[in-house]
């Protein structure tokens, strides 16, 4: 009889425990609310970079593995069929985070309610074209797209300009979207930053993840200044300066800089096409760190609106070292600038001043 009573008690306790865990699971399900989808605009979405970046975004590379997204894809009428093909492939890939795709050639429809705008589309320089010809074409494009973003994007929209000349295109966009805060308009120099990290990791035969705090100063062009003066490498003996480990200032001040500056041209020569995969990956890195924050003690390079830091003319979009927290970037202050670096920084600033003047002459 005692055995029967004991068995009954065990069954009752087991039932109560099982019921308790069911209640816990039910409460957890109630508390787990899926995030609202973020609307992300990609212009030039039928092109190489667009084709590379949209699956990265849909897979969570840009905003994380728990952030649903809705993609707004924009391109020009002549490639509308190809754009629809990109949309079809996104559907076929069945990305769990992808909650919708809008593919259109209408800038107003594309910009409606977007939280993040990745501006890939632009007019490329063709053989025989002068810089001012290219600038004039891109001024027209960015004037129209800026107007659509100004009127139809979300109030907190973050903008990343990739199309060249990226710094000056970002400046033009700011000119025609005055209600978008200047802190919310940036251009891509993270690709150059990542290239610099890659060159140092190869030179020292270390993991690229162990190298940090390189800087790209200035323009996303062949005048950019890749700077390792403050860069470090994580070793078994702690953080060590890159210059100390490389122990070859001639290489760092010459070949390293030239290699990073000319890397895009080298890729075109090798692939017969411009960088797409690496540019798309860098764009995801740029937005992810901007939105989710940079690791403590680490900075990244972003083309941002100059506030006069380091003696750079205010009002230019210039690449600085920045840290990001809670969706905002801040220029790293107080870094020592030697004479060699000052000359390089001034040279790339001079080019940006000239580009700005040329762009404004196109507006006139």
* d(C-alpha 104, C-alpha 138), whole Å: 20
- Please identify which of the residues 72, 193, 220, 230 carries the catalytic annotation: 220
Task: Find out whether 125 is annotated in a ligand binding site.
Answer: yes
Task: Find out whether 328 is annotated in a ligand binding site.
Answer: no
Task: Find out whether 207 is annotated in a ligand binding site.
Answer: no
Residue whose structure tokens are 């209600």: 179
Q: Distance between alpha carbon 259 and the CA centroid of its chain, in Å?
A: 22
DSSP assignment of 283-331 equals: HHHHHHHHHH-PPTT--EEEEEE--SGGGPPTTSEEEEEEEEETTEEEE
Task: Find out whether 334 is annotated in a ligand binding site.
Answer: no
**Going along the chain, which residue ranges are E strands?**
38-43, 69-74, 98-104, 116-119, 158-161, 185-187, 211-212, 215-217, 225-227, 232-235, 238-241, 300-305, 317-325, 328-331
Task: Find out whether 45 is annotated in a ligand binding site.
Answer: yes
What's the full length of the chain, in residues? 364
Task: Find out whether 57 is annotated in a ligand binding site.
Answer: no
Q: For strands 38-43 and 69-74, give the pairing.
A: parallel
Task: Find out whether 195 is annotated in a ligand binding site.
Answer: yes
Is 234 known to be catalytic? no
Cβ atoms of 298 and 203 within 8 Å: the answer is: no
- Phi-psi region for residue 206, left (φ > 0), alpha (ψ -120 to 50) or beta? beta
What is the three-class DSSP state of 185? strand
Task: Find out whether 23 is annotated in a ligand binding site.
Answer: no
* d(C-alpha 309, C-alpha 306), whole Å: 7
Task: Find out whether 327 is annotated in a ligand binding site.
Answer: no
- Helix (H) or strand (E) segment spanning residue 359: helix 339-363
Cα 53 to Cα 43, 158, 285, distances in angstroms: 11, 17, 11
Task: Find out whether 163 is annotated in a ligand binding site.
Answer: yes
Task: Find out whether 164 is annotated in a ligand binding site.
Answer: yes
- Which residues form the catalytic set? 220
Binding positions for substrate: 125, 131, 164, 195
Binding residues for NAD(+): 44-50, 75, 138, 162-164
Binding-site residue positions: 44-50, 75, 125, 131, 138, 162-164, 195
């Amino acid at each position: 009889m005692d055995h029967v009573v004991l068995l009954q008690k065990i069954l009752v306790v087991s039932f109560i425990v099982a019921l308790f865990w069911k209640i816990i699971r039910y409460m957890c399900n109630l508390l787990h609310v899926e995030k609202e989808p973020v609307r992300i605009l990609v212009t030039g979405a039928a092109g190489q970079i667009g084709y590379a970046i949209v699956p990265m975004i849909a897979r969570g590379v840009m905003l994380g593995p728990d952030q649903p997204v809705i993609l707004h894809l924009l391109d020009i009428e002549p490639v509308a069929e190809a754009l629809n093909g990109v949309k079809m492939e996104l559907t076929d890939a069945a990305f769990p985070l992808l909650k919708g795709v809008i593919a259109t050639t209408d800038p107003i429809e594309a910009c409606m309610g977007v939280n993040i705008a990745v501006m890939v589309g632009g007019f490329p320089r063709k053989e025989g074209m002068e810089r001012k010809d290219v600038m004039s074409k891109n001024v027209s494009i960015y004037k129209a797209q800026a107007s659509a973003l100004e009127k139809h994007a979300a109030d907190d929209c973050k903008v990343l300009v990739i199309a060249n000349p990226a710094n000056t295109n970002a400046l033009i966009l700011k000119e025609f979207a005055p209600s978008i805060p200047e802190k919310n308009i940036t251009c891509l120099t993270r690709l150059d930053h990542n290239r610099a990290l890659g060159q140092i990791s190869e030179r020292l035969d270390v993991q690229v993840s162990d190298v940090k705090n390189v800087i790209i100063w200035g323009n996303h062009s062949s005048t950019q200044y890749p700077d390792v003066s403050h860069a470090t490498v994580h070793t078994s003996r702690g953080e060590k300066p890159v210059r100390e480990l490389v122990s070859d200032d001639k290489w760092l001040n010459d070949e390293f800089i030239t290699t990073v500056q000319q890397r895009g041209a080298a890729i075109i020569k090798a692939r017969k096409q411009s960088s797409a995969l690496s540019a798309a990956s860098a764009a995801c890195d740029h937005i992810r760190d901007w939105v989710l924050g940079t690791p403590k003690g680490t900075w990244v390079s972003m083309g941002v609106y100059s506030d006069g830091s380091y003696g750079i003319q205010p009002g230019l979009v210039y690449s600085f070292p920045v840290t990001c927290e809670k969706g905002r970037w801040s220029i790293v202050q107080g870094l020592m600038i030697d004479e060699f670096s000052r000359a390089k920084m001034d040279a790339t600033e001079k080019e940006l001043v000239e580009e700005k003047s040329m762009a404004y002459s196109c507006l006139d």
